[in-house]
């Protein structure tokens, strides 16, 4: 049986995970914010900026831990809980906003022609669109709960070990 990692190794792993996750969130959300702004979608740009802030918080926490400052751990946990809150709020808002008439208004004549060529009409497609809409945002909510919640739990569970690695009791 393999012995548990030393506190210094646990600290290195936590910092590595936080840096990678934080940077990934910053890059993806930052690019999403730019793209949404370029498309004129202000709400999505704001949500993406809020998500980017969570990545910056995680990056900052990793930086603090690298400087041997235990406050970095709180930054890591809080950034995950903040990100969880932002994404869940967004997903729930989207789930509550499904408007079939708005969806119908987005269908172009070319799309209608494609449906007709496939032997379908818009009424046949609408249940599929609704299911895809709910599946997308429901999956986003569940994955966020699992990933961000799990990462916050992971960071918090290593608090005592990290404290030891930083020279605490």
Q: Above 80 in pLDDT, residue 168? A: no
Residue 67 within any structural domain of the chain: yes
Region 21-39: mean pLDDT is: 98
Distances (CA, A) of 31 to 27, 38, 137: 6, 10, 20
Instruction: Measure the CA angle with vertex 136, ends 80 and 118; round to 5°.
Output: 160
Model confidence at 1, pLDDT cuts 50, 70, 90, reads: confident
Residue 71 within any structural domain of the chain: yes
Q: Which two tokens stand for residue 57?
A: 């918080």
Nearest partner of 148 among 61, 73, 72, 58, judged by Cα: 58
Region 35-55: mean pLDDT is: 97
In three-state form (DSSP H/G/I as H, E/B as E, the rest C), the secondary structure along 78-144 is: HHHHHHHHHHHHHHHHHHCCCCHHHHHHHCCHHHHHHHHHCCCCHHHHHHHHHHHHHHHHHHHHHHH
Residue 47 within any structural domain of the chain: yes
**Burial class of 85 by CB neighbour count within 10 A (0 to 12, 13 to 18, 19+):** middle
Residue 2 within any structural domain of the chain: no
pLDDT at 76: 98
Residue 1 within any structural domain of the chain: no
Domain total for the chain? 1
Query: Which stretch of DSSP H or E encloses residue 167?
Result: none
Model confidence at 115, pLDDT cuts 50, 70, 90, reads: confident
Residue 20 within any structural domain of the chain: yes
pLDDT at 3: 87
Q: In sequence order, what are the residues at sequence separation of 6 or more whose Cβ sits closer than 8 angstroms to the Cβ of residue 144?
A: 83, 84, 87, 88, 91
Residue 105 within any structural domain of the chain: yes
Which residue segment(s) compose the domain that 37 sits in?
Answer: 7-165
Residue 131 within any structural domain of the chain: yes
């Amino acid at each position: 049986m393999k012995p548990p990692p030393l506190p210094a190794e646990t600290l290195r792993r936590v910092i590595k995970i936080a840096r990678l996750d934080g940077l990934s969130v910053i890059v993806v959300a930052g690019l999403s914010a730019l793209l949404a702004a370029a498309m004129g979608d202000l709400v999505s740009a704001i949500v993406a900026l809020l998500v980017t802030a969570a990545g910056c918080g995680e990056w900052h926490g990793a930086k603090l831990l690298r400087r041997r400052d235990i406050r970095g751990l709180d930054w890591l946990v809080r950034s995950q809980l903040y990100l969880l809150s932002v994404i869940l709020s967004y997903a729930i808002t989207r789930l509550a906003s499904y408007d079939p008439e708005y969806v119908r208004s987005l269908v172009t004549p070319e799309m209608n022609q494609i449906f007709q060529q496939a032997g379908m009409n818009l009424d046949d497609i609408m249940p599929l669109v609704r299911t895809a809409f709910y599946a997308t945002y429901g999956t986003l909510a569940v994955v966020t709960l699992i990933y961000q919640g799990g990462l916050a739990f992971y960071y918090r569970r290593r608090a005592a070990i990290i404290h030891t690695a930083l020279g605490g009791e």
